[in-house]
A and B are shown apart, each in its own frame.
Chain A
Amino acid sequence: DAGITQSPRHKVTETGTPVTLRCHQTENHRYMYWYRQDPGHGLRLIHYSYGVKDTDKGEVSDGYSVSRSKTEDFLLTLESATSSQTSVYFCAISGTGREEPGGEKLFFGSGTQLSVL
């Protein structure tokens, strides 16, 4: 999956506990994204990063925070997990610097299945 590693692959946690998901890339891509995938909703953007320490909110950012201290790592944190955050979380990257403007495609990791009980 294009040099993208998500960890953990599966996690079960309890309501109210903090959870951190990690995305690691070896492609030196500039942009990194966190999406969640739920039945009937497709993929929805949570947060994205356009550089080290540069992040912005997506469509469903409430209850989530992110950090990017290194080019290769993008962390997604659920400060206090809720059952509505049970989902499959995907990390994606883009931005090789060789695309034409407006023509960047995303490369996805294999996902993290998170269950909040």
Chain B
Amino acid sequence: SQQGEEDPQALSIQEGENATMNCSYKTSINNLQWYRQNSGRGLVHLILIRSNEREKHSGRLRVTLDTSKKSSSLLITASRAADTASYFCATDRAGSARQLTFGSGTQLTVLP
């Protein structure tokens, strides 16, 4: 069974708008990561947030983590057409840090 599930499955916005994607998971984690995948390519790591952190920023990315609700959100501010991609959350499990479990992803389309 999947540890992480993203919501929504697909999101379409205009350039300049903010995009928010959510991830829910089931078991205790050490950290949660977000990855991006352009069409036909491998995944690229975006940001990692540890279980004892609540918010983290990297450029136009803002990630929050609520361990009580077992959920995370990824906010992309001032989106660009180049942000069009699939975004995945990945969680490890406490005691099994090597086995990342990925959700099924959110397909983001940013219209110019």
Contact = CB atoms under 8 A, between A and B. Distances in A.
Interface of A: 1, 4, 31, 35, 40-45, 48, 50, 56, 58-59, 90, 92, 101-111
B97 A102 contact: yes
Contact of B104 (A40, A56, A59, A107): A40
A103 B100 CA distance: 12
Given A41-B104, A42-B2, A106 B43 contact: yes
Contacts of A110: 41-42
Interface in B9-46: 30-31, 33, 35, 40-45
Contact of B43 (A45, A56, A58, A90): A90
Contact of A50 (B2, B48, B50, B98): B98
A100 to B, nearest CB: 9
A42 B104 contact: yes
A42 B50 CA distance: 22
B92 A108 contact: no
A102 B30 CA distance: 6
Interface residues of B, number: 26
A45 B45 CA distance: 17
Nearest to B99: A45
Given A40-B104, A42-B103, A42-B104, A103 B50 contact: yes
Given A40-B104, A43-B43, A105-B45, A48 B98 contact: yes
19 contacts: A4-B42, A41-B2, A42-B2, A42-B105, A43-B88, A48-B99, A92-B42, A92-B43, A102-B50, A102-B92, A102-B97, A103-B50, A105-B45, A106-B33, A106-B35, A106-B43, A108-B43, A109-B42, A110-B41
A109 B40 CA distance: 11
B23 to A, nearest CB: 11
A106 B97 contact: no
A107 B104 CA distance: 18
Contacts of A59: 99, 101
Contacts of A31: 98
Nearest to A99: B48
A40 B10 CA distance: 12
